Structure 1
């Protein structure tokens, strides 16, 4: 994933949507039909509301697994955004196990026995082991930028650009949750990032198109209390299918854990 809208932009966009529909996103849950029964809430509204709720919390624990033709990668730890731009993640990839920390937009990635490597949010992709295969402008597939981005931003982008449908309720960790699925073209999905310059957007879209990827598929799981609990991105291309699953556990407001050693 490339960088997605900053939290302030996400909040502003969601509030604007609520204003233009004549109600807040939360209020849509109380819509009634003429007969008095509760009207079904469109999947798009549910996902937007859950994305806003996670954004408001300001932090989460994330557990990420990417599986595809190039192998398996994992990351687990905490991430905070907004007033506190921090993160502490343990990652495993082609280079082995490493510690990724974020503070005020500065990234440090240290693998066992190797000196730390440094980047910032705009150059996060340079830390990816596949950076040698990056597109012009440094896009290497989005693994690193996805790890340091509020997961709600990705759900927001799909809800804004894709066609979401409901797959009904199912059990997740002993809780009944709602499962939604959608897809969007590569160009539409990444264009939802209002901070990508035209040149950067073109490079990202080209990276996918050169690999035979035309669309991004997304599954979203929302639990009671409008909690965004899980995301799954599916990318099918000429080399095979890559699936990235992110489990999200929202932290208590103001409870995001700062990076270790700070």
Structure 2
């Protein structure tokens, strides 16, 4: 997944456009302003604004589930970005239930009865039990995604693909807007300015070998520009892998040990 981005300039521009065209970002996204005549805000604007709001929060709790042909994985805990770069996540995968921590860009992953594994942020994928291409080898983005600000991923989605609205639904006890789209793999990861050409080629080739041409995505945004859920779908020759990230408690990020769930 793309690393942390800071989309302040892009979002500020779109917010200014919204102000001058009469669009309101304070209403329930995807609907008209209650009791008013303002038109619905374009999905791209809503997602970019939500991405910026989460980026500004500096941290949150995340609950992640990946399901696909290779099995089911989960992760839960706190993630902090910006001035501090920390995480404390309980991860359950093929090796059991372990603890993933981040301190100042250094990652540590430990399972009961096994020696801990260490990596820096650029080598996060080497911690994945499915990594088979050596240190830093791409393994599908699971570990990288766990230590990446969800707002930066939503920002990349809005910047590289066309979003359509699926209307309002109930989520987390509120009415939220659901947006959906897809983008070719090369475009999605190519938008990440921090990937070297060599690294980008490795990532794109990983998906190509598995018959994945595009990444499908869904984004849920609640009132107050709250990014609540991201879902990424990769359909390939071996089946479909779906990764869902729920975001809650924006601003939280004390990196205290996550409870096993």
State TM-score, norm by structure 1.
0.89
Q: Is the 1:85–1:105 contact (alpha carbons within 8 Å) kept by the matching residues of 2? A: yes
Q: Is the 2:108–2:116 contact (alpha carbons within 8 Å) kept by the matching residues of 1? A: yes
Structure 1 unaligned runs (5+)?
none
Separation of aligned partners in 2, 1:137 and 1:250:
31
Deviation at 1:49, TM superposition (A): 0.4
Deviation at 1:194, TM superposition (A): 1.1
Separation of aligned partners in 2, 1:60 and 1:82:
12
SS of residue in 2 equivalent to 1:131: coil
Q: Is the 2:124–2:136 contact (alpha carbons within 8 Å) kept by the matching residues of 1? A: no
Matched with 2:82 is 82
Deviation at 1:123, TM superposition (A): 0.4
Q: Is the 1:222–1:229 contact (alpha carbons within 8 Å) kept by the matching residues of 2? A: yes
Q: CA RMSD in A?
A: 2.2
Deviation at 1:27, TM superposition (A): 3.4
Deviation at 1:259, TM superposition (A): 4.2
Runs of at least 4 residues off by over 4 Å? none
Deviation string 1:40-93 (CA, Å, 9 cap, x unpaired) is: 211011000000000000001000000000000000000000001000000000
SS of residue in 1 equivalent to 2:107: strand
Matched with 2:11 is 14
Q: Is the 2:89–2:257 contact (alpha carbons within 8 Å) kept by the matching residues of 1? A: no
Deviation at 1:25, TM superposition (A): 6.6
Matched with 1:154 is 153
Deviation string 1:103-138 (CA, Å, 9 cap, x unpaired) is: 100000000111211001010000000011x48961
Matched with 1:72 is 72
Structure 2 unaligned runs (5+)?
25-35
Q: How does 1:181-260 map to 2 (within 5 A)?
A: 181-252=180-251, 255-260=252-257
Separation of aligned partners in 2, 1:249 and 1:25:
28
Deviation at 1:11, TM superposition (A): 2.6
Q: Is the 2:64–2:75 contact (alpha carbons within 8 Å) kept by the matching residues of 1? A: yes
Separation of aligned partners in 2, 1:28 and 1:71:
49
Aligned residues: 248
Deviation at 1:174, TM superposition (A): 2.0
Deviation string 1:136-157 (CA, Å, 9 cap, x unpaired) is: 9611100000000001111111
Which residue of 16, 19, 22 maps to 1:27?
Answer: 19
